[in-house]
């Protein structure tokens, strides 16, 4: 099945071939009107958006190869001319590629989505310098205070605040702050698990 994001992604990459991460590319596609809401449950919506993005990138990689090389890495997406095909090849044994090319995974259960998101946040905390014991010392009230919310905050309030704070402090943003972002990630993890 062809993913509807394949050609919009290609058009974006033709105009700016590098400097993209999955989340920045998804955000840009959203601004262009190509990323609708895919599920009422926020975690499943995030999962489905990510699935469509990765699936489209792998499909586009297959379509363009061997004339062009599309590097598909969550934190580094690059479209380049093919100079030496021995340097760039499609790894058909890549388990991540297998997962995202299998359409049945798009309809993952809520439990599976939570498991995958927990794995992602664990890896992300390690990537930005956090560790497993750090978030265990942070309780719900402390996490809410970091979000500048009180105990009466609804799940909707928490989600909206997380999105606003993540956009403001993400290290990839011009005035981002990786330390502040890491702490907010820990608070988000606590609040998500508590929900």
Number of domains in the chain: 2
Task: Please confirm whether the linkage preceding 75 is cis (ω < 30° from 0).
Answer: no
Q: Note whether 40 and 105 are same-domain residues.
A: yes
Nearest CA-CA partner of 163 in 136, 141, 185: 185
Distance, CA of 83 to CA of 99 (rounded, Å): 29
In 3D space, the residue among 10, 95, 5 whose CA is nearest the CA of residue 51 turns out to be: 5
For the segment 126-153, the average pLDDT, to the nearest whole number, is: 75
pTM for the model: 0.65
User: What would the pLDDT profile of 32-66 be if each residue is shown by its tens digit?
Assistant: 999 888 888 877 888 899 899 999 999 999 999 99
Say if 131 falls within a structural domain: no
- Taking Cα atoms as reference points, which of 127, 129, 145 lies closest to residue 190? 145
The answer to whether residue 132 sits within a structural domain is no
Question: What is the C-alpha to C-alpha distance for residues 191 and 142, in angstroms, rounded to an integer?
Answer: 10
**61-81 tens-digit pLDDT:** 999 999 999 999 888 899 998
Task: Write out pLDDT tens, residues 160-190.
Answer: 898 888 878 876 667 778 778 878 888 887 8
Domain extent at residue 74? 5-122
Burial class (CB in 10 A: 0-12, 13-18, 19+), 101: middle
For 73, phi then psi, to 5°, come to: -135, 135
Coil, strand or helix at 68: strand
Q: If you average pLDDT over every residue of the chain, what do you get?
A: 84
Same domain, 111 and 65: yes
Measured distance CA(165)–CA(160) in Å, rounded: 9
Comparing 83-87, 105-109, 159-163, the range with the smallest average pLDDT is 83-87
**Do 96 and 171 belong together in one domain?**
no
CATH code for position 146: 1.10.287.110
Q: Nearest CA to 124 among 64, 43, 188, 58?
A: 188
189/125 Cα distance (integer angstroms)? 10
């Amino acid at each position: 099945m062809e993913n509807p994001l394949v050609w919009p992604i290609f058009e974006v990459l033709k105009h700016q071939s590098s400097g993209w991460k999955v989340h920045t590319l998804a955000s840009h596609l959203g601004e262009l009107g190509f990323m609708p809401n895919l599920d009422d449950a926020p975690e499943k919506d995030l999962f489905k958006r990510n699935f469509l993005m990765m699936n489209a990138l792998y499909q586009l990689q297959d379509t363009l190869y061997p004339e062009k090389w599309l590097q598909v890495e969550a934190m580094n997406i690059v479209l380049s001319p093919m100079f030496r095909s021995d340097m760039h090849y499609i790894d058909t044994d890549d388990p991540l590629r297998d997962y995202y090319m299998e359409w049945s995974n798009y309809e993952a259960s809520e439990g599976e989505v939570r498991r995958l998101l927990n794995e992602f946040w664990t890896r992300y905390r390690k990537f930005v310098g956090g560790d497993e014991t750090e978030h265990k010392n942070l309780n719900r009230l402390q996490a809410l205070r970091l979000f500048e919310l009180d105990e009466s905050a609804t799940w909707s309030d928490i989600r909206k605040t997380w999105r606003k704070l993540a956009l403001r402090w993400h290290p990839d943003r011009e005035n981002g702050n990786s330390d502040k972002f890491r702490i907010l990630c820990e608070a988000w993890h606590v609040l998500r698990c508590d929900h």
